[in-house]
Amino acid sequence: MASLVAVDNKKHLNTKIDLNKVEHHGANLPLIPVVLAEFIHLAVQYPIVLTKNGDTGQFVFSAMLGFEENENLFWQQAQWQGLYVPLQIRRQPFFVETSDEKHHNELAICLNTDSPAVSEEIGQALFDEKGDESSYFKTVKANLTQLLLGEKENKVLIATLTSMALIKPMSLDITFMNQGATKLAGLYTIDEVKLAALNNEQILSLHQSGLLSAIHTMMISLGQIHTLIDLKNKSLS
- Say which amino acid occupies 127: F
pLDDT tens-digit readout, 36-76: 999 999 999 999 999 998 888 899 999 999 999 999 999 99
Q: Tell me the average pLDDT of the chain.
A: 92
Angstrom distance (rounded) from CA 58 to CA 104: 23
**pLDDT above 50 for 115:** yes
Residue 9 contacts residue 127 (beta carbons within 8 Å): yes
Domain ranges of the chain: 4-231
The CA distances from residue 52 to 62, 72, 115, in Å, are 10, 19, 27
pTM for the predicted model, two decimal places: 0.90
